[in-house]
Amino acid sequence: MQIIIAGLSGLLMGLSTAPFSLFYLAWIALIPLWFLIFYQENKVKFTIKSFIFNEKTLIAFIWGLAYHGFAIFWITGIHPMTWMGVPWLASLLIAIFCWLFISIWGAILVVTWSILIRFLDLGKPGKLWLKSPWFKSVSRIIWGVAIWCFLEWFWSQGALWWTSLSYTQSPHNLAILQLSKFSGYSTITASIIVVNALIAEGLILYHNNHKNIRQSIIFLITSLSLFIGLHLLGSFLYNTPFINSDKTAIKVGIIQGNIPNTIKLYPEGWRRAIEGYTKGYEKLANQGVDLVITPETALPFDWNYIVNNSSFYPAIIKKKVPVLLGAFGFKNGSYTNSLFSIDKYGQILSRFDKIKLVPLGEYIPFENILGKIIDRLSPLDSHLIAGKTDQIFKTSFGQAIVGICYESAFSEHFRRQAKAGGEFIVTASNNAHYSQIMPAQHHAQDVIRAIETDRWIARVTNTGYSGIVNPHGQNLWISDINTYEVHQDIIYTRDTQTLYVKFGDWLTFLLLGLGGILWGIKML
């Protein structure tokens, strides 16, 4: 029964993500997990094996598998890949493998959290006042919040990252998302966990001893007060106006090419891409935009081919409107997934090579091993290689912050560029691989990035959703899905720096320090 409850509560957390966006469920979906793991102490003699491999670990795994598995089920949309020459059955197996691998990787985070916090909870404090249920609960809450935030930070340093608890609140709970200006997405994650944990600990206190009713009520009231207080603070920040100046305005033009993946890298797709993006560029240029932006690999060729063999380059020379163009770069004998900043004379002003490549899509981790099992999902003949982390992207209207597709999930990627002087955000993506769930979640990720950095963002995708988002996370325009669209709008450059941009994820490490102090006091 406990396993079923854990699985159902993990699914509740999954339902809080876009496009279902039942974000309020996230504020209660951790309660069953917390309660089931901590409501009773282990009565079995302690061994490393019994401590790690037990029902509590299984509960954590099932909760994590349910949450992450549900949230990223859209990954199975890569099937069928018959258009790439992959047999139907092999395509299905690859899709299932990718989904299970990523889901289990997410579940491991929850399992690790469970093991670490239970380890810190071991032992009995020497001093009498430290033995109180109140101290035990408060310590566990701080450890739980600190460890989860740290594990999310640690997971985000790797190649597989998408499902932070914070993105359950995006794009609709804009009040709470404003808190990400303080310490990034971990501020949101910490808020969700502490509200859940206070309720769970209140229930645990009452369950273990009905005489703890007063303390239990205090925990419940504290949770409710904190929930309301955090939203009031966020609402205040949300309603604080930001100043736009005509001097900092950029009239941008967005082209959503709508080239299906089934034809994108074949002659018919090439023809449609060149025709569609050239036509869109000329239309926007005639409307007087300052800057045209295209999606990731809008023209799936290298720059020299575009200059010599397409109608797009002559259009730039004729219309003289700068463009940010998604195409392939070439470097050290391999391709890069790049965004080129082209000035009005058709010269490359800057180039940004994608840093966070998609595992199993644009490259295979441990390819010497896995490459023998799984054919690369990328149809390119050469490997895609990652760009350097210190890239600066200049445009005709100032320095931009660039995210190419999957990079939207990596907060630090945007923070670094904002701190280095980036004045507005451009994300260029091709979401045609997956179901409509993925583009909605991708948009939700970008909303958080805009708020964290206090920047305007122009989202440009191949098939949707493209959009314009302001620094408060408001969607000023969003495209339809699977349609060809040409849109013009205004964004503004900004040079402000939030606490998060200045100091990074300081909250996580502050909580770790506080948790360490409490553990030290307990062990006295």
In this prediction, residue 380 carries a pLDDT of: 38
Q: Which of 13-27, 302-316, 366-380, 474-488 has the lowest mean pLDDT?
A: 366-380
Indicate the range of 97-106, 352-361, 439-448, 454-463 predicted with least confidence: 352-361
- Domain, as residue range, for 489: 246-493
Lowest mean pLDDT among 127-141, 427-441, 487-501: 127-141
Q: Does 98 participate in catalysis according to the annotation?
A: no
Does residue 296 have an active-site annotation? yes
What are the distances in angstroms from CA 516 to CA 112, 137, 186, 513? 17, 15, 19, 5
149 and 260, same domain (yes or no):
no
Looking at residue 313, its amino acid is Y
What's the pTM value of the predicted model, to 2 decimals?
Answer: 0.93
Domain assignment of residue 76, yes or no: yes
Q: Which of 136, 354, 356, 522 does the annotation list as catalytic? A: 354
Residue in 152, 201, 296, 452 annotated catalytic: 296
Same domain, 359 and 341: yes
What confidence tens digit (pLDDT) does each residue in 479-489 have?
Answer: 999 999 999 99
- Do 157 and 16 lie in a common domain? yes
Shared domain for 150 and 263, answered yes or no, is: no
Q: Are residues 407 and 509 in the same domain?
A: no
Is 52 exposed, middle or buried (CB count within 10 Å of its CB: 0-12, 13-18, 19+)? middle
pLDDT surpassing 70 at residue 340: yes
Q: What percentage of the chain reaches a pLDDT higher than 70? A: 93
Shared domain for 261 and 212, answered yes or no, is no
CA 468/CA 426 separation, integer angstroms: 10
Asked whether residue 498 is assigned to any structural domain, the reply reads no
What is the rounded average pLDDT of the residues 206-215? 84
- Is 256 within 8 Å of 460 (Cβ atoms)? yes
- Whether residue 241 contacts residue 277, with contact meaning beta carbons closer than 8 Å, is answered with no
Same domain? 251 vs 236: no
User: Within 13 Å, how many C-alpha atoms sit on residue 514's CB side?
Assistant: 16
Q: Is the pLDDT of residue 521 over 90?
A: no
**Do 328 and 191 fall within a single domain?**
no
> What CATH number does the domain containing 321 carry?
3.60.110.10
Alpha-carbon gap, residue 395 to 342, rounded angstroms? 8
pLDDT higher than 80, residue 116 = yes
Do 132 and 186 lie in a common domain?
Answer: yes
Percentage, residues of the chain above pLDDT 90: 76
How far is residue 222's CA from residue 244's CA, in Å, rounded to a whole number? Answer: 39
Sheet with 485-492: list strands edge to edge. 348-353, 334-342, 323-331, 291-293, 249-256, 485-492
Can you give the pLDDT at residue 342? 98
pLDDT average, residue stretch 177-205: 98
Report if residue 262 sits inside a domain: yes
pLDDT of 346 reads 97
Grade residue 265 by pLDDT with cuts at 50, 70 and 90. confident
- 153 occurs within a structural domain: yes
Please report the pLDDT score of residue 377 as a whole number. 44
pLDDT-wise least confident of 118-127, 233-242, 324-333:
118-127
pLDDT at position 373:
46
Phi first, then psi, for residue 421 (nearest 5°) are 115, 5
Identify whether 385 is part of a domain: yes
Determine the pLDDT at residue 287. 98
CA distance 177 to 318: 44
Q: Provide mean pLDDT across the span 449-468.
A: 97
Q: For residue 325, is it within any domain?
A: yes
pLDDT in tens, 79-89: 888 877 788 88
Do 262 and 224 lie in one domain? The reply is: no
What pLDDT is stored for residue 490 in this prediction? 98
Q: Residue 438 — very low, low, confident or very high, per pLDDT cuts 50/70/90?
A: very high
In a domain, 499, yes or no: no
Asked whether residue 51 is domain-assigned, the answer is: yes
Neighbours of 266 (CB within 10 A): 12
Residue 94: per-residue pLDDT? 86
Per-residue confidence (pLDDT) for residue 53, from 0 to 100: 80
Q: What is the mean pLDDT of residues 50-62?
A: 90
pLDDT band per the 50, 70, 90 thresholds, residue 378: very low
Considering the domain architecture, whether residues 260 and 113 belong to the same structural domain is answered as no
Choosing from 149, 405, 452, 522, the catalytic residue is 405
Residue 178 sits in the same domain as residue 291: no
Q: What is the DSSP string of 10-47?
A: HHHHHHTSTTT--GGGGGTTTHHHHHHHHSS---SPP-
371, pLDDT greater than 80: no
Identify the pLDDT of residue 49.
78
DSSP-assigned letters across all residues of 151-217? HHHHHHTSS-----GGGGGTTT-HHHHTTHHHHTHHHHHHHHHHHHHHHHHHHHHHHH-GGGHHHHH
Task: Assess whether pLDDT exceeds 80 at residue 40.
Answer: no
Cβ-contact 475, 445 below 8 angstroms: no
Q: Which residues, other chains included, contact 109 with Cβ-Cβ below 8 Å and sequence gap of 6+?
A: 64, 151, 152, 155
Domain count, the chain: 2
Mean pLDDT of the chain, nearest integer: 92
- Separation of first and last alpha carbons in the chain: 39
